Structure formats: C-alpha cells, structure tokens
Amino acid sequence: MAAQIINGFELAKEKRTQLAKEVEQLKQQGIEPALAVILVGDHPASQSYVKAKQKACEEIGIRSILLTFPSDISEEFLLEQIARLNEDRSVHGILVQLPLPKQMNELHIIEAIAPEKDVDGFHPLNIGRMMTGQKTFLPCTPYGILYMVQSLQVDIAGKHVVVVGRSNIVGKPVGQLFLREHATVTYCHSRTNDLAAITRQADILIVAVGKPKLITSPYVKEGAIVIDVGVNRLESGKLCGDVDFDDVKEVASYITPVPKGVGPMTITMLLHNTIQAARELHK
C-alpha cells in the first residue's frame, strides 16, 4: 500500500490562518509584528527565498522590511546595519539571508543579531537554549519538520529517529528537537559505514544532505515515516528531493513530497517565531 503524502503546503496554509489571527490580536494591542530581512548580493536562489518570505509576511499581516546591499560591502558595514536594527524597537525579527559573500564571516554576522530578534534560531545562545530545553526560537526547518510529524498524531516517544545529514541548519538541530520529544536519535553522515543498515532501523527517517534520490526503498523500513528536506534540480530542470519519492512511497507509511513538503513549513515557522518575538519584546 502506497504511503500517505504529508502535504506541507496544506499544513502551512492551516497554520498561517491561525497566525494571521494572532497578528490581528497583536495589532489590536497596538503591536505590529515586523521582520527585517537583509539580502547581500544577487544570488538567484537567495532572491527567490527572500521574495517568498516577504509574500508570506504580507499574507498574514506582518510588516516586511527588505534591506538589499551589493555583494562588495564590507563586513563592518553589515554589522552596523544589524546594530541599527537591534536598537529599533519597531523591528521584532532580523534575518540575514545566507549564504553571504566570501569576504564575510557568517558566524560573526549571526552572532551580531540580538538573540531576542534571532527569528532564524541560529544564534549560539538560542542554539544552547534549545539544547538545554529552555524557551527560545527554534530553527525554522527543524521546527517545521517536528510540526509535520506531530500533525500525524504519532507518539514520538520511544521511536527511533535517524537523521541523515549533520548541518548546523537542519541535521544537528532536528535531532535535538526529536530528542526533546523522547525519541532515540541516530545521526548519519558522509563517513557513516553501511548507511542502509542504519536507516532501515528508522521509525522516522529525516534526510537532509543535498544528494538527489540518495535514499531508495532498500534504505527504508516498511511503514517508516520519511521526511525529505533536500531540494535538488535535475538536468531536466525538474526538482527532486534526497529521497527517490516514487520508489520509497511504496514502503513508507508517510512521506513528504518535493516540492510542497518541508519548504512551506520552514517559512511558516519563521512567521511563528516573528510573532513570538513581537509578543516577548512588548511584554
């Protein structure tokens, strides 16, 4: 029996309807949630992501502020812009679109964002709070993945979650979020021996490596939940994930498609974090 599709687009739509109501409630209290996005350079994918974030903000009533700069600006100049936004009480969330030009140290830039405005959840202080189970902004893609799995009404406690990929943006934090939900978590990566032997143990398999169709049905346990974070463009121009969707859907119980899977939930959780920041900053 083919897997059921976890439709991230529809889930995001439902969640955004709820968030729009929360924004309206804040506006009635005189608070207009605002997200400032900084885009450096003219990277086409970054421009596309920023446009999607702006559109999502406008749809639910969050004020969107876009600051665009040429790729040859100095790190010092960018840090000055962030410092100004940190001090601006009308701005609740600050997001610097990655990647940045080579002359900049991304870690320096992320650390310059005030933790209480770090709606991406990348600041080391917020990562530390997440690791220790404190209230904080959760990284958007991992948070979206957790939300998707929880929407299935599955008891995560005791489940074996296998994460393929160890990036700071997705792999590492998503494992920690599932650990907080009392799952048993295993990380796999490019140096893992006999990857299939480990992924076949997963009740919940999360794949985020950026390799087209890496995971095929022999890698997946019958009835597993499969979350595909990868977005890859084939030579034909078609998008595909890190999971061979047509093959794996025959063995999984649930699976996310690419596109309309994890992507819409990432932006939705950014909106969620921005609203949370507006609430906290006006307490």
167 is in an annotated binding site: yes
How many CB atoms lie under 10 A from the CB of residue 15? 20
Residues known to be catalytic: 53, 97, 120
| Residue 243 labelled as part of a binding site | no
Q: Is 165 annotated as a binding residue?
A: yes
158 is in an annotated binding site: no
Q: What are the binding residues?
A: 165-167, 231
Q: What are the binding residues for NADP(+)?
A: 165-167, 231
